[in-house]
Amino acid sequence: MRAILAAAVLAAMPFVLGAYQLSLLTGGLAYGLMAASLALLVGHAGLPSLGHAAFLGVGAYAAGLTAKHLSESAVVQLGAAVLAGVVFALVTGWFAVRTRGFFFLMFTLAIGEIAVQAATRSGRVTGGDNGLSGIPVSTLFGLETAMPYVVVFYWWALAVVAAGFAVLAAVRRGPLGAAIAGTRENEARMAAFGYSVPGVRLAAVTVAGAVCAAGGALVAQKDTFVAPTHLGVGVSVLLLVMVLLGGRDSLAGPALAAVGLIALRDVTSGALGDKWLLVEGALFVLCVYLLPEGLAGLWRKRARAA
């Protein structure tokens, strides 16, 4: 019910916001979805990843290359991105799920950095470090001819983000989600029940990777540009921070943190010049002390009190 209400309010935003704010919010929603997908790994599966941006980048490059060479349809590009995300998740996750905790963190960091190098050094395909340019603007069911593109694209992004959230929520609630949580809590018992622990973990990585790649497609379509920095540790850290600020056991929390952090950066970097990073550093410190469960803790506390 709340989700529907939130979607309705968000859908009305084009009537409230200007073009720039709308594009900022579009980016915020895409990052929100990607942060929520990472929360599935970090919170639900107990797999802290420092290479999640690789999925963003794989999805973005897949969508951008599809747009450039195959189809200008946003839906086709999205499909290509999700497919690429699944393949990338299966190939890298197969190895990654053998490690745990801090070692998983570092293994995924290695995957991300190797992906950055691969994108940088495949200049013929990816445009190298100067990025993939010449991506055409996506078509959106012909609606873009009737209305301003930023508005149509915002609704498209909102629809994709809503669908992605629905997938994440369904997985969390369903039998796979229970199995994933089980491997986090007690590997030995899950194995005794006949589950393949690496298999369950790989499924978690694949779902999170596919959803994140969908977010990556939105980034590529919004900016009609992708660069190797999209895959790098800087973005991975940002996504992880969004999860921790929002609350790792939640989907809405990280999404909210993503929108909030992007808005905060926008305001502070404009107003403070090179001092905006100090505000961000202080925010991280304060949040650790004041919001131990992240933003999600705020409404949980409320619910408990009621």
Contacts (CB under 8 A) with other proteins, residues 74-133: 95, 98-103, 106-107, 109-111, 113-114, 117, 120-121, 123, 128-131, 133
Touching other proteins, residues 150-179 (CB under 8 A): none
| Full DSSP string of 166-184 | HHHHHHHHSHHHHHHHHHH
- Should residue 148 be labelled a site residue for other proteins when binding is judged by CB under 8 A? no
Q: Which residue shows structure tokens 């808005």? A: 263
**Helix, strand, or coil (residue 132):** strand
Q: How far is CA 201 from CA 16, 244, 276, in A?
A: 42, 21, 38
Q: For residues 134 and 174, which CB has a smaller minimum distance to other proteins in the complex?
A: 134
What does the per-residue mask of binding to other proteins show for 46-65, with x meaning CB under 8 A? Answer: --x-----------------
What does the per-residue mask of binding to other proteins show for 17-46, with x meaning CB under 8 A? Answer: xxxxx-xxx-xx-------------x----
- Should residue 299 be labelled a site residue for other proteins when binding is judged by CB under 8 A? yes
* Contact stretch for other proteins (CB under 8 A) within 73-81, 187-195, 196-204, 253-261: 253-261
**Closest by alpha carbon to 37, among 226, 215, 291, 232?**
215
- Should residue 187 be labelled a site residue for other proteins when binding is judged by CB under 8 A? no
Please give the Cα distance from 1 to 123 (Å, whole number): 47
Least distance between other proteins and beta carbon 176 (Å) = 23
Q: For residues 133 and 145, which CB has a smaller minimum distance to other proteins in the complex?
A: 133
Touching other proteins, residues 202-231 (CB under 8 A): 219, 223-225, 227, 229-230
* Contact stretch for other proteins (CB under 8 A) within 74-82, 169-177, 208-216, 252-260: 252-260
Q: Which residues, including other chains, have CB under 8 Å from residue 279's CB and lie 6 or more apart?
A: 264, 268, 272
- Should residue 188 be labelled a site residue for other proteins when binding is judged by CB under 8 A? no
Q: How far is CA 60 from CA 32, 46, 83, 203, 300, in A?
A: 16, 26, 12, 22, 34
The count of residues interacting with other proteins (CB under 8 A) is 89
End-to-end alpha carbon distance in the chain: 18
- Should residue 181 be labelled a site residue for other proteins when binding is judged by CB under 8 A? no
Tokens of 278: 């100090």
Q: For residues 83 and 109, which CB has a smaller minimum distance to other proteins in the complex?
A: 109
Least distance between other proteins and beta carbon 143 (Å) = 19
Give the CB-side neighbour count of residue 113, counting CA atoms within 13 A: 9
**Helix, strand, or coil (residue 73):** strand
Please give the Cα distance from 42 to 225 (Å, whole number): 29
Report CA dihedral (126, 41, 219, 90) to the nearest 10 degrees.
30
CB 34 within 8 A of CB 198: no
Touching other proteins, residues 256-295 (CB under 8 A): 256, 259-260, 262-264, 266-267, 269-270, 273-278, 280-285, 287-289, 292, 295
Least distance between other proteins and beta carbon 175 (Å) = 26
- Should residue 252 be labelled a site residue for other proteins when binding is judged by CB under 8 A? yes
- Should residue 236 be labelled a site residue for other proteins when binding is judged by CB under 8 A? no
Q: For residues 176 and 280, which CB has a smaller minimum distance to other proteins in the complex?
A: 280
Least distance between other proteins and beta carbon 230 (Å) = 7
CB 183 within 8 A of CB 45: yes
Please give the Cα distance from 60 to 82 (Å, whole number): 10
